[in-house]
């Protein structure tokens, strides 16, 4: 039996390149093949790489759609909805669909990197049984750690490098890609708020969280976003997780994190990145949290679900954390 014929119609390929010339050499022929057969093409990379590709494509530059990955993929859970919308909008209209997406770059924090890798795995789950299209994911092997490149071999069926294209022997398979994320999260140093939650305590917990989040440096709107998202996750925990849970909040110089811990598990691996349709009863809480927060981490283990919501502290907000020199002087007397 020809196994290739059984392969899913979605082709998910990692491009391993080193430096910008190899990036262009790997991506431009892929784009040109799509243009030759009049396919719809979306490229989601950094603004610098968009400029690079526009120059390389010259007269054909405007036949490609571009999106800024540093914005779209700022929270990596927002990337899959973009691909779903592009594929759905074009799969019947165009002769084919292809895309280039580079969600992982050197400056990603460890937390963001883990969620980007989760995103790469989930792409296989989302498009496994969908229409045929091709997605190429460039990885700058000169800039990224070897374990990041090794993980890309596990989350992509195909790999293209300087030696050509091949099937990845390390691809972990779609079922493993869909398995809950069980990797434990590091414990915070100290927490600004820790409280149990149940149905009746939700209003008081929202008020406490709002106060502590504002104290930590979030703006009024950012605090509103965090409280709204945390309330939905906490409500899920109360309704589906045995009536109670725990909420904690802490901050460092870069971010405010709110964690909700409760019993039970989230069954659908795509629950947080499926745009709510017209179905009235459909859950919307996790989707909302991903739209309002900069990052969401969901972990399930030991019949527990842990959700962490991150809000970045913008430079304006960070200023309020600068210590009063007087306070530092007083501390040194102790």
Residue 198 or 215 having the CB closest to other proteins:
198
| Least distance between other proteins and beta carbon 204 (Å) | 11
List the one residue out of 35, 58, 63, 177 whose CA is nearest residue 120: 177
Q: Of the candidates 292, 298, 306, 313, which one interacts with other proteins according to CB under 8 A?
A: 292
List the one residue out of 108, 39, 23 whose CA is nearest residue 74: 108
Residue 12 or 225 having the CB closest to other proteins:
225
List the one residue out of 275, 305, 269, 300 whose CA is nearest residue 290: 275
Q: Of the candidates 231, 237, 297, 300, which one interacts with other proteins according to CB under 8 A?
A: 231
Q: Cα 126–271–257 angle (5° rounding)?
A: 120
Site string for other proteins, 117-156 (x = CB under 8 A): ----------------------------------------
List the one residue out of 66, 35, 32 whose CA is nearest residue 48: 66
Q: Which residues have a Cβ under 8 Å from the Cβ of 239 and sit 6 or more positions away?
A: none
Q: Is 280 in the site for other proteins (CB under 8 A)?
A: yes
Q: Of the candidates 89, 176, 239, 330, which one interacts with other proteins according to CB under 8 A?
A: 239
Residues in contact with other proteins, total (CB under 8 A)?
A: 25
Residue 31 or 230 having the CB closest to other proteins:
230
Query: Residues 137, 120: contact at Cβ < 8 Å?
Result: yes
The Cα 305–Cα 189 span in angstroms is 21
Residue 281 or 327 having the CB closest to other proteins:
281
Task: Give the number of other CB atoms < 10 A from CB of residue 189.
Answer: 7
Of 69-77, 87-95, 277-285, 300-308, the window that binds other proteins (rule: CB under 8 A) is 277-285
Residue 23 or 287 having the CB closest to other proteins:
287
Q: Is 318 in the site for other proteins (CB under 8 A)?
A: no
Q: Per 3-state DSSP, what percentage of the chain is helix, strand, and coil (rounded to 5)?
A: 45, 25, 30
Of 152-160, 247-255, 269-277, 312-320, the window that binds other proteins (rule: CB under 8 A) is 269-277
The Cα 70–Cα 98 span in angstroms is 20
The Cα 13–Cα 7 span in angstroms is 13
Q: Give the three-class secondary structure for 158.
A: strand
| Least distance between other proteins and beta carbon 202 (Å) | 6
Site string for other proteins, 202-221 (x = CB under 8 A): xx--x--------------x
Q: Report the interface residues with other proteins, using CB under 8 A.
A: 199-200, 202-203, 206, 221, 224-225, 227-228, 231-232, 235, 238-239, 275-277, 280, 284-285, 287-288, 291-292
């Amino acid at each position: 039996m020809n196994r290739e014929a059984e392969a899913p119609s979605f082709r998910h390929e990692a491009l391993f390149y080193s430096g910008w010339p190899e990036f262009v050499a790997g991506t431009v022929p892929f784009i040109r093949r799509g243009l030759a057969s009049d396919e719809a093409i979306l490229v989601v990379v950094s603004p610098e790489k968009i400029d690079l590709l526009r120059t390389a494509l010259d007269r054909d530059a405007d036949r490609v759609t571009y999106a800024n990955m540093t914005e779209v993929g700022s929270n990596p859970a927002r990337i899959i909805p973009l691909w779903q919308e592009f594929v759905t909008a074009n799969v019947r209209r165009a002769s084919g669909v292809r895309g280039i997406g580079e969600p992982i770059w050197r400056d990603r924090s460890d937390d963001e990197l883990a969620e980007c890798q989760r995103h790469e795995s989930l792409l296989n789950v989302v498009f496994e049984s969908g229409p045929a299209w091709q997605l190429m994911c460039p990885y700058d092997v000169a800039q990224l750690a070897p374990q990041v490149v090794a993980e890309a071999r596990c989350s992509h069926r195909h790999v293209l490098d300087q030696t050509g294209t091949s099937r990845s022997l390390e691809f972990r398979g779609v079922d493993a890609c869909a398995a809950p994320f069980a990797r434990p999260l590091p414990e915070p140093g100290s927490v600004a708020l820790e409280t149990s939650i149940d149905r009746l305590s939700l209003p008081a917990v929202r008020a406490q969280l709002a106060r502590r989040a504002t104290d930590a440096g979030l703006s009024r709107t950012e605090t509103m976003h965090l409280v709204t998202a945390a309330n939905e996750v906490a409500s899920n925990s109360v309704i589906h997780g045995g009536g109670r849970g725990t909420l904690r909040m802490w901050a460092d110089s870069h971010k405010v994190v709110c964690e909700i811990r409760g019993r039970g598990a989230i069954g659908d691996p795509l629950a947080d990145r499926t745009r709510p349709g017209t179905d009235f009863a459909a859950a919307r809480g996790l989707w909302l949290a991903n739209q309002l927060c900069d990052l969401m981490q969901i972990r399930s283990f030991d019949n527990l679900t842990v959700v962490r919501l991150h809000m970045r502290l913008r430079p304006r907000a960070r200023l309020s954390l600068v210590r009063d020199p007087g306070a530092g002087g007083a501390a040194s007397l102790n």
